[in-house]
Amino acid sequence: MSRFEYAPAPESRAIVDIKSSYGLFINGQFTDATDGKPFKTISPASEEVLAEVSEAGPADVDKAVRAARKAFEKVWGPMSGKDRAKYLFRIARLIQERSRELAVLESLDNGKPIRESRDVDIPLVAAHFFYYAGWADKLEYAGVGDDPQPWGVAGQVIPWNFPMLMLAWKIAPALAAGNTVVLKPAETTPLTALAFAEICQQADLPPGVVNIVTGAGRTGQALVEHPDVDKVAFTGSTEVGRAIAKSVAGTHKAVTLELGGKAANIVFEDAPIDQTIEGIVNGIFFNQGHVCCAGSRLLVQESVYDEVLARLKRRMGTLRVGDPLDKNTDIGAINSAAQLAKIRELSQIGEDEGAERWSPECELPANGYWFPPTVFTGVSQAHRIAREEIFGPVLSVLTFRTPQEAVEKANNTPFGLSAGIWTDKGSRILWMANQLRAGVVWANTFNRFDPTSPFGGYKESGYGREGGRHGLEAYLAH
Amino acid sequence: MRKTYKLYVGGAFPRSESGRSYVVTDAKGKFLANASQASRKDARDAVVAARKAFGGWHARTAYNRGQVLYRIAEVMEGRHQQFSSEVAASEGLSISKARAVVDESIDRWVWYAGWADKLAQVVGSSNPVAGPYFDFSLPEATGVVAVLAPQDSSLLGLTSVIAPAIVSGNTVVAVSSYERPLPAITLGEVMATSDVPGGVVNILTGSASEVGPWLASHMDVNAIDLCGIVDPEEATELEIAAADNLKRVRRPAEEDWSADQGLSRLTQYLELKTVWHPIGV
């Protein structure tokens, strides 16, 4: 099949001013780390070094937590909700003002297409700050009693798939509820968090209310285990979530965990076919499949299997993989060499276990980390590619005959984050939504997010919700 | 006539699979009964029963679950005398104080009964998203909840930890107070005769310290209430074991069982499901 050729339409990098090195953001200032080795953050699309970033050691984390504690006790805690709200509104406005810059920076550091960072991530980031800003002076209406109290210092650890959006999910409700925060962005994607630190300065946010400590697992562990952290919020792998749940055992710390998933995207024979194909593609190839709620298990009713597969493959053939800053790009770079290796390994296992692998013909750039959109057919429930989270653009297809069988297959996983249903029959949608053991169910759509809408998982996908009133509740003691 | 006390698992009254029993005395040390001492196998059987019952119980209408909880209160009322004498003996209370505790326990079942069909309205929401979608969130039961019941409050405490778990559709495996198991056993008998489907509530008598680790590490238990664990180190161990399948954990805390209960025990064992659908013509 021939492909449309597009002229390159790259977004300019000129709007972003990346410093050669960054310190930690503690108590309102960028400061040097005392005991960690600096590390480099690169563009996964080109392997170009973007900047050198400090690694926060335990002493730095301690300094950040102290700053947060002091700010909580002296400034942010006693401040009226009305005044806290104004800071959050101001931050939301600053994010809007700098949205193009943030989108370019996010695409550079993360590898995601500019189309997504510009149209999805950053607008949602601003929307989260707007939404929670309005809660700051209405906490007594949040449904947790008439005198809800913040926990105190929140230690937050976020992943690399949506660096800025996860920051907003964590920081906006925490601050609205009156907590102060120490946030650790992922080691491969620290730059937008550091840009956010600047935004805090521009907003005149009191020093210590937001602190950003960069580093890898060791830094995160020091933060989570710090005895003066009252509330731990983590988004990432189930494995690390489990370790965090163990490390906070026996402490007073409140915990919310947003962990992995292996969502079933269920297609019935009466599904609106064009929308469904778009939904399947969006479900697994959005953000290179680096989405914990990605629709990575496609369950297709047998009667429409051939048609769905043929159309899906045809659609996959039109996906453009390449430069994240090109506005035509659908699929950007895999975030890191390590993640690429994991995707390759699991895909190889898929082949070895007997599933059939298919990718459209697709020229990948010579430098950087790339993986073509891939679909596996002939997958059984026992295959590892049907059970484990791949976190990449890899779709496993299974079939079913009856709604009951679809439910059983969909629920046959230790995860329970999300699910998709495609059918024209309203009563079946509601019946299915009722049966599925998942925190988010998208019917005739997929991967929708909104600050007003709670998000979070059942079972081993973690506990607690983010977004909406329920996301605020996670930051209030009651 | 002396009564024989047994476990309550899956709607039946087995003796412990281990054949073990232990001596239960009153608050002054006088012999009351031999109670079954639940083993690891009993705990596993109880989890199997609770899992089996979950689908049906969780699928019942909220109205129906509320009716069943209210029925528990009605049946307890009929056994008021028996509960009062067991609570009095177990906790060393005067009979009039024990009666008051039983009244409070019955009231608590009634209070929770009324929550069944209100939770979704109070805890759920319709979410005003910025797009052409209808988006709503509803609470739903977590699954199988293991409860290590309070050691001190043999009936009111036990009621206060079981009722909020089952009213939303969870099923429960409860380990009673070790030294004060008799009101728990009688509560099991009430369950069996008050429209509660077998397996929804399973009551094990015995040591929470002995059985607790098996429940905490059991991969088919979704949540655990550690309130019956007195030793903080032991509670920490159980919390660590519970992390293996990311159980929802309720840590032990000082609790006043006669105080207003609030919502936290109800919401502790709920998941929130958010459903999106496009709006259009």
Can you tell me the distance from the alpha carbon of A30 to that of A304, in angstroms, rounded to the nearest whole number? 57
Q: What is the mean pLDDT of residues A381-389?
A: 97
pLDDT tens, position by position, A136-156: 999 999 999 889 999 999 999
Predicted confidence at residue B1, as pLDDT, reads 65
Indicate the residue type of A269: E
Higher pLDDT, A335 or A144: A335
Q: What pTM was estimated for this model as a whole? A: 0.96
Predicted confidence at residue A6, as pLDDT, reads 82
Task: Find the residue in A nearest to B233 (Cα).
Answer: A250
pLDDT value at A68 more than 50: yes
A453: which DSSP letter?
Answer: S
Query: Does B127 contact A454 at a Cβ distance shorter than 8 Å?
Result: yes
pLDDT value at A246 more than 70: yes
Phi, psi at residue A205, to the nearest 5°? -60, 130
Q: Are A468 and A453 in contact (CB under 8 A)?
A: yes
The fraction of chain A above a pLDDT of 70, given in percent, is 99
Tell me the chain A residues in contact with residue B274 when contact means C-beta distances shorter than 8 Å: 439-441, 453-455
pLDDT value at A2 more than 60: no
- CATH class, domain A264-443, is alpha beta
Q: What is the mean pLDDT of residues A24-48?
A: 95
- Please, which residues 186-225 of chain B have a Cβ atom closer than 8 Å to chain A? 222
CATH topology of domain A21-259+461-477: Aldehyde Dehydrogenase; Chain A, domain 1 (3.40.605)
Indicate the residue type of B172: V
Can you tell me the distance from the alpha carbon of B93 to that of B85, in angstroms, rounded to the nearest whole number? 9
Residue B132 touches chain A, beta carbons under 8 Å? no
Paired tokens of B250: 């309720």
Tell me the chain B residues in contact with residue A414 when contact means C-beta distances shorter than 8 Å: 245
Q: Are A468 and A452 in contact (CB under 8 A)?
A: yes
Indicate the residue type of B253: A
pLDDT tens, position by position, B82-125: 999 999 999 999 999 999 999 999 999 999 999 999 999 999 99
pLDDT value at A468 more than 70: yes
CA distance to partner chain A, nearest, from residue B82 (Å):
37
Q: What is the mean pLDDT of residues A427-454?
A: 98
Least CB–CB distance from B274: residue in A250, A429, A455? A455
Query: Does B271 contact A259 at a Cβ distance shorter than 8 Å?
Result: no
Residue (of A124, A99, A103, A122) closest to A113 by Cα position: A103
Q: What is the mean pLDDT of residues A47-51?
A: 98
Best interface-test mutation with A: which of B121, B123, B276 has the largest number of A CBs within 10 A? B276
The mean pLDDT of chain A is: 97
Predicted confidence at residue A4, as pLDDT, reads 64
| Residues of A with catalytic function | 258
The full set of domain ranges for chain A reads 21-259+461-477, 264-443
Q: DSSP letters along A106-163, please?
A: HHHHH---HHHIIIIIHHHHHHHHHHHHTTTT-GGGSSS-SS-EE-SEEEEE--SSSH
Q: CA of B173: how far to CAs of A441, B11, B48, B116, B261, in Å?
A: 29, 12, 10, 20, 21
Q: What is the mean pLDDT of residues A45-53?
A: 97
Phi, psi at residue A298, to the nearest 5°? -90, 120
Q: Given its phi and psi angles, is residue A334 left (phi above 0), alpha (psi -120 to 50 degrees) or beta?
A: beta
Can you tell me the distance from the alpha carbon of B176 to that of A305, in angstroms, rounded to the nearest whole number? 53
pLDDT tens, position by position, B240-273: 999 999 999 999 999 999 999 999 999 999 999 9
User: Burial of A80 by CB count in 10 Å (0-12 exposed, 13-18 middle, 19+ buried)?
Assistant: exposed
User: Burial of A402 by CB count in 10 Å (0-12 exposed, 13-18 middle, 19+ buried)?
Assistant: exposed
Residue with tokens 């005895």: A227
pLDDT value at B24 more than 60: yes
Query: Does A453 contact B235 at a Cβ distance shorter than 8 Å?
Result: no
ipTM greater than 0.85, yes or no? Answer: yes
CA distance to partner chain B, nearest, from residue A258 (Å):
11
Task: Find the residue in B nearest to A458 (Cα).
Answer: B271
Length of chain B (residues): 281
Q: Given its phi and psi angles, is residue A259 left (phi above 0), alpha (psi -120 to 50 degrees) or beta?
A: beta
Predicted confidence at residue A1, as pLDDT, reads 46
Query: Does A458 contact B133 at a Cβ distance shorter than 8 Å?
Result: no
The mean pLDDT of chain B is: 97
Indicate the residue type of A274: D
Best interface-test mutation with A: which of B144, B170, B272, B279 has the largest number of A CBs within 10 A? B272
Going by C-beta distance under 8 Å and a sequence separation of 6 or more, which residues neighbour residue A222?
A: A56, A57, A58, A61, A62
Q: Are B149 and B227 in contact (CB under 8 A)?
A: yes
Q: What is the mean pLDDT of residues A449-458?
A: 98
3-state secondary structure chain B: CCCCCCCEECCECCCCCCCCEEEEECCCCCEEEEEECCCHHHHHHHHHHHHHHHHHHHHCCHHHHHHHHHHHHHHHHHCHHHHHHHHHHHHCCCHHHHHHHHHHHHHHHHHHHCCCCCHHHHHCEECCCCCCEEEEEEEEECCEEEEECCCCCCCHHHHHHHHHHHHCCCEEEEECCCCCCHHHHHHHHHHHCCCCCCCCEEEECCCHHHHHHHHHCCCCCCEEECCCCCCHHHHHHHHHHHHHHCCEEECCCCCCCCCCCCCHHHHHCEEEEEEEEECCC
